[in-house]
Structure 1
Amino acid sequence: MSTDTLRYFDYAATTPADPRVIAAMLGCLGADGAFGNPASNTHAAGRQARALVEQARAQVAGLIGAEADEIIWTSGATESNNLALKGFFDAEPARRHLVTSRLEHKAILDTACHLEHLGVAVTRLSPDAAGEISAAAVAAALRADTGIVSLMLVNNEIGTLTDVAEIARAVHAAGALLHVDAAQAVGKTGIDVKAMGIDLLSMSAHKFYGPKGIGALYVNRHIAPRIACQMHGGGHEQGLRSGTLATHQIVAMGTACELARAEMASDNQRIAQWRERLLDGVRALGVVTQNARGARRIPHTVSLTVALPGFSPSMLGDDLAISSTSACNSAAGKPSHVLTAIGLDADAAARTVRLSLGRFTTQDDVDFAVACFRRAIERCREAEESGQTLQVKQLSDEVGVSAQLSGTDVRAAHAIGFRSIVCNRPDGEAAGQTPFAQIAEVAGALGMTVRYLPVESGRVTDEAAAAFRALVAGLPKPVLAYCRTGTRAEMLWNSAGMPR
């Protein structure tokens, strides 16, 4: 994908639906299409929809080596993860121990925390030096009461592969089950649930060129009675997940799976070529390193850290659709749990960027991305040489905070990509600080947007937080908020419940 203004490198977040998937989906929406309710078996419209649903079920099963009746439709991998873990422990009175890892998606980690509150013991494994979860680590964590092990096949931030086949042998030898979060793996790497010993597997269509809002959980037929329903209502999906089936989304997911089965090898070969071109280009800049470089991985996702103190992922934001993994959406002001788990400190995590490539990535897109990195790094070096350095705590891709600014600091903020500035000092704060009017003058000359929202020290009220949230929402991103120490601006952010 490429446009004149933005190149897309965030396929790990979501993929554009393939045109062939869109065509299949549209065929199930209008009055002249298969719009019937698949549960309406008393007339032709319902039976036609049911036939398409079952065809899609077989297509999904075919991609992962399952039987069609082992595919349970859900709204996506998050729901599938919840159904697998909560469903197991709801039905299991004895084996009340869960093994997972510190690298997992929040859909697993947050579910594990919920289960912990219900009395389930949870072991969270750390990765090895290569950034992988080893079979030996899993085996060492297994106990007599271990019920299920839940691990992702491909990590969503660093693209590493987990050897689930080897892990499965240890898990089954201990009498436990293996659940795999395959949201980032389906359609990108070969999966055979039978050969790999996977008991439950979660997937989302929008990660491999299908629509959002549809996914599935593979449930090995032999363990299906051990999973309790989490969505009650009509006994759909073998009693495991009630709700009217969305024929158009299901057909789209089936089509996406069929395309992945036919085109995965050629897609991966091309993506691997572009990945190597990207890595060669950014490594040549001398300050960019790839995280977990030595681990087994898919070619689609790379995590890069820039070893320059002034670098911020926001410097790339206007030109590249990327993901910054500098902040995680669970704990205020803390870096990504994945990056810290593989050994990065908070400062390095704040200078880390995830780029993910896909079916529509072109060589021109890759060369454009390398040029963007080159320009950002040159700006950092120029700012460092001129003494225009600035300490910024990055709270999200869109907002950073700092202590009191000077005119030089404003120029440094502009150099590293900030487009707006918000001052949160209370009126009449300590003498000797650069007046807001001077800050506004310098920023205005640079084309930056400047706003003043005074908040008294120690009085971050709900009203002030709401005003800050509304202000930031309307400003060009990224936004740099400042006060005397930076603490007040961060408190406003946290109190406003802003996304990270």
Structure 2
Amino acid sequence: MNPDWIYLDNNATTEPSSGVVGAMALALRQSWANASSSHAMGQEARQALMMGRQQLARMLGCKPAEVVFTSGATEANHIALRGAMGFNGRQRIVLGAGEHAGVQKLARHLRDRQQIGVDFIGLHADGSLNMTLAQALITQHVSLVSVMAANNETGVLMPIGELARLAHERGALLHVDATQLIGKLPFDFAKSGADLVSLSAHKFHGPKGVGALIVRQGLNWPALFMGTQERARRGG
């Protein structure tokens, strides 16, 4: 980066830290074998993958087995929303009205092409979620409630704990897009009440093209891409 520049766009993406760049370079040189292979080099790559999973789990307050690596938050969001179709025999999802454009487009696609019911929880003038409307929309017909933890434009924090309680009372799951929160504020998955959480490494000084979906242990979540990797939750 030009040393004369002052970068003020960290909500869009962050500069990879020197430690990340060094770790990536080392992995590309030394741990490049197929982590599914049984030979020594493959097992070395597998060990590096396991170490990364454990480090992320410690950071997020979740179990390593709950971490599903993806190509970014967009893919993680797709796995979460598409996987909710038919959960508990329900075909309806509820989203916050201020969700990322990619999430809103996906929800409308599911509504228009696959006849999934979709409702949006409106916002107050200050950008906060209208919880009175949320209580009316999150019914016993809803499979998934999906909200962002922190809005990328307004900075408003959503009431994750309250939404988790409301969703669970009515037999629904809570998905949280934490892309803008991770790396800025502490987050503990185990204490959050969320069932699924999306994140992307490039938002907190990690590499682009790397993200994760945290799936609460015990949820048998379907894969978007078939394969044996990531406990059969994300092939490739």
2:225 aligned residue: 231
Conservation of the 8 A alpha-carbon contact between 1:82 and 1:107: no
Give the conservation status (yes or no) of the 8 Å contact 2:66–2:215. Answer: yes
- Give the secondary-structure state (helix, strand or coil) at the position aligned to 2:190: helix
Matched, 1:191 2:187: yes
Question: Aligned residues, how many?
Answer: 235
Alignment of 1:136-155 (within 5 A): 136-155=132-151
Q: Which of residues 190, 206, 211 in structure 1 aligns to 2:207? A: 211
Contact 1:135 1:166 in 2 (8 A): no
What is the distance in 2 between the residues matched to 1:220 and 1:165? Answer: 15
Task: Name the CA distance, whole Å, in 1 between partners of 2:76 and 2:158.
Answer: 19
Change (3 A) 1:179 1:35: same
- The alpha-carbon deviation at position 73 of structure 1 amounts to 0.6
Alpha-carbon distance between aligned partners in 2 of 1:143 and 1:213, rounded to the nearest angstrom: 36
| Displacement of 1:93 | 6.7
Distance of 1:93 and 1:167 partners within structure 2: 19
Q: Map 1:61-460 to 2 at 5 A.
A: 61-89=57-85, 91-92=86-87, 94-117=89-112, 118-223=114-219, 225=220, 227-232=221-226, 234-243=227-236
User: Is 2:79–2:223's contact at 8 Å kept on the other side of the alignment?
Assistant: yes
What CA deviation, in whole Å up to 9, does each residue of 1:31-60 have, x standing for no partner?
A: xx12221111x2111111111111111111
Using the TM superposition, give the Cα deviation of residue 154 of structure 1 relative to its aligned residue in structure 2, in angstroms: 0.8
TM-score by length of 1: 0.46
> Does structure 1 residue 38 correspond to structure 2 residue 35?
yes
Following TM superposition, the consecutive aligned residue runs of length 4 or more in structure 1 with deviations greater than 4 angstroms are: none
**How far apart, CA to CA, are the structure 2 residues paired with 1:27 and 1:134?**
48
**Alignment deviations for residues 278-306 of structure 1 (CA, whole Å, 9 cap, x no partner):** xxxxxxxxxxxxxxxxxxxxxxxxxxxxx
**Distance in 1, Cα, partners of 2:142 & 2:104:** 17
Structure 1: 5+ residue stretches without partners: 244-500
Deviation at 1:130, TM superposition (A): 2.4
Change (3 A) 1:239 1:195: same
The residue type equivalent to 1:3 in the other structure is: P
CA distance in 1, matches of 2:77, 2:168: 20
What is the CA distance between 1:134 and its match in structure 2? Answer: 4.3
Aligned to 1:461: none
The equivalent residue for 1:333 is none
Structure index of larger Rg:
1
Taking the aligned partners of 1:107 and 1:242, their CA distance within structure 2 comes to 22
1:195 and 1:140 map into 2 onto residues whose CA distance is: 25
The residue number in structure 2 matching 1:28 is 27
Give the distance between the partners of 2:158 and 2:88, measured in 1 at CA.
29
User: AA paired with 2:162?
Assistant: E
Kindly indicate whether the alpha-carbon contact (under 8 Å) linking 1:134 and 1:167 is maintained by their aligned counterparts in 2. Answer: no
* Counterpart AA for 2:225: M
**8 Å CA contact 1:135, 1:170 repeated in 2:** no
SS of structure 2 residue aligned to 1:160: coil
- Alpha-carbon distance in 2 for matches of 1:220, 1:231: 19
1:201-233 per-position Cα deviation (integer Å, ceiling 9, x unaligned): 00000000001001000000122x1x221112x
- 1:470 is matched with which residue? none
8 Å contact kept, 1:99–1:149: yes
Q: How far apart are residue 2 of structure 1 and its match?
A: 7.0
CA distance in 2, matches of 1:14, 1:124: 27
* Pair 140,56 (structure 1): closer, same or farther in 2 beyond 3 Å: same
The change in CA–CA distance for 1:214 and 1:134 in structure 2 (over 3 A counts) is same
Paired residue secondary structure (2:28) = coil
The whole-number CA distance in structure 2 between the counterparts of 1:163 and 1:190 is: 15
- Residue 318 of structure 1 corresponds to none
| Post-superposition offset of 1:135 | 3.8
- Name which structure has the greater RCO, CA cutoff 8 Å, separation 6+: 2
CA distance, structure 2, for counterparts of residue 93 and residue 116 of structure 1: 18
Q: What is the Cα-based RMSD across aligned positions, in Å? A: 1.4
